[in-house]
Amino acid sequence: MSEPLPVRMEKARQALLAHIVAVRDTKIGGIIDSADQESGRIIAAAHRQAREQVNAVTAEMRRHREYERLAALGEAEHAVRSLQHRLILSALDAAMSILKATLMQLWTDLDAQLRWLSMTLAAADTRLNDGLWRLEHPRHWDKRAATDVFRQFGMRRENVHLELHASTEISAGFRIRCEGMLLDSTVSGLFDNVGDIRGRLLGVLETTSGWSTITTDWEQLNHNDR
């Protein structure tokens, strides 16, 4: 016996509703799964991007710190070199003054004067021709004390005639003139070539035990900082 139409319609409605619910649940489940997968991909991509950004920021910070370190190192090196340059100039100025004062003090000793004269004549012996040599000396220099020096030189250079002249311009040392040539061993003449004297003094300073301390300390500091 067939069911009444209202009953069949109700059952059909319920079956359709159940189907719709099942389809809905299936689609919702698929949507949720797809959403979970997509959210997983988004989160993973976000993590990668965050790591990349962190790495980029970290690398930039390292580059910045290295730049600052090198800049500070360069400034420190420049300061040390500048200080060393000033110390060199001060040391050379002091050494020049001491050297000049020492030569002037040396001139007050008679034996030193005779050695000075001998060295001057020896230098002229290799540079000047025979003939008349005009030997200029300080006004108050006692030429009689140099008799033996002149005699020995005359025996060595018989064709040289020494003509002595006192000069108010000379405070210590000698000048010898011959045929337009000049050999100047006066204190002022010796200091004419300041550059050469400074170069020689610098060479002496650089060989002293304490002079290289600044450079050595700086190089050690620079090495340790790397």
- Count of residues in the chain: 226
pLDDT digits (tens, 9 = 90+) for 120-160: 999 999 999 999 999 999 998 988 999 999 999 999 999 99
Contact 175, 185 (CB under 8 A): yes
CB atoms within 10 A of CB 183: 20
Hey, which residues does 184 pair with through a beta bridge? 175
* Residue with the larger pLDDT of the pair 203 and 186: 186
Give the separation between CA 33 and CA 153, rounded to whole angstroms. Answer: 118
**Residues 28, 120: one domain?**
no
pLDDT digits (tens, 9 = 90+) for 86-108: 777 777 778 778 888 888 899 99
The mean pLDDT value for 110-115 works out to 93
**Residues 97, 116: one domain?**
no
pLDDT digits (tens, 9 = 90+) for 22-31: 777 777 777 7
| pTM recorded for the entire structure | 0.55
Contact 133, 161 (CB under 8 A): yes
Residue 88 lies in a domain: yes
> Is residue 62's pLDDT more than 70?
yes
pLDDT value, residue 212? 56
Residue 125 lies in a domain: yes
**Residues 124, 85: one domain?**
no
pLDDT value, residue 169? 92
Give the separation between CA 219 and CA 222, rounded to whole angstroms. Answer: 5
Contact 152, 211 (CB under 8 A): no
Residue 199 lies in a domain: no
When divided into structural domains, the chain yields a total of: 2
Residue 207 lies in a domain: no
Q: Kindly compute the dihedral angle of the four CA atoms of residues 113, 118, 119, 122, in this order, to the nearest 10 degrees.
A: 160
